[in-house]
Amino acid sequence: MAEDPDVVSRRIARESLDRDDPTGWFENLYAAAAEGSAVVPWDRGTAHQLLTEWVDESQPDGAGKTALVVGAGTGWDAELIVDRGFETTAFDISPTAVETAQRNHPDSDVHYVVADLLDPPAEWHRAFDLVVEIYTVQALPISLQPAAIKQVTELVASGGTLLVIAAARPDDRPDADLQGPPWPLTRATIQSFTTPELHLIQLDRSPSPADPAIHRWRAEYLRD
């Protein structure tokens, strides 16, 4: 009997993390999913509900503006953003994720590329009017999160917006209690996306419709 795809997904992550390779499992997982032996648990086949709500509420006009989608996976969030008129780049560390996104959206105007958040292209520095980060930082071990967060903040252009969506964890729940991935973000971690020039202008915490025990952050930041 074939192995349960969810079990396969967790095993792929664990093998890579046990080898001290915190990002290698993403490519292994997407490649296994492409051949049908695993599932990508976060692949919703649609944009994230909280991103859709933010777009509906904010009605961003992307005409003449650039957007970057971090850890874009199979592309559904990037497609929502490009539909608002932004010149949109979406990147992922997994080449198979990027290929899958291109296959999912063959007529897309999104520029899908392979790149590493922890070492992004120099020309992306403060280059984007809108940066969307959903569930990438929390997919990295806690020791890597400060470096990843700093890189996210450095992608936002002057006057630009950063939108972060992440699973929430109580501040008093210690790191050692977590058996990630994922490693959900505390309020303090959400605050740590701010800099003297990048201000948290809206923060919501809401239960997941699928599992009300799980809460999610939706945080919006604005650069001076």
Ligand X SMILES: C[S@@+](CC[C@H](N)C(=O)[O-])C[C@H]1O[C@@H](n2cnc3c(N)ncnc32)[C@H](O)[C@@H]1O
* 92 is a contact residue toward ligand X (CB under 6 A): yes
CB 117 within 8 A of CB 148: yes
Q: Is 37 exposed, middle or buried (0-12, 13-18, 19+ CB in 10 A)?
A: middle
Q: Rule CB under 6 A: is residue 198 a binding residue for ligand X?
A: no
Residue nearest to ligand X (CB): 71
Residue 132 host element (H or E): strand 128-134
If binding is defined by CB under 6 A, does position 134 make contact with ligand X?
A: yes
Q: How far is the CB of 211 from ligand X (least distance, A)?
A: 16
Would you count residue 89 as binding ligand X (CB under 6 A)?
Answer: no
- Closer CB to ligand X, 157 or 164, in the complex: 164
Count Cβ neighbours within 10 Å for each residue of 90-104 and write b for 16 or more, e otherwise: bbbbbebbbbbbeeb
Among 139, 156, 157, 185, binds ligand X (CB under 6 A): 139
Amino acid symbol at 114: V
* Contact between 118 and ligand X per CB under 6 A: yes
Query: Out of 9, 13, 48, 163, which residue is the one contacting ligand X (CB under 6 A)?
Result: 48
Q: Which of 43, 80, 46, 42 lies closest to 163 in space, CA to CA?
A: 80
Question: Which of 74, 17, 13, 9 has the alpha carbon at shortest distance from 37?
Answer: 9
The residue among 31 and 134 lying less far from ligand X, judged by its C-beta, is 134
Nearest distance, CB of residue 170 and ligand X, angstroms: 21
Q: Provide the binding-site residues for ligand X, judged by CB under 6 A.
A: 23, 26, 42, 48, 71-73, 92-94, 97, 116-118, 134-136, 139-140
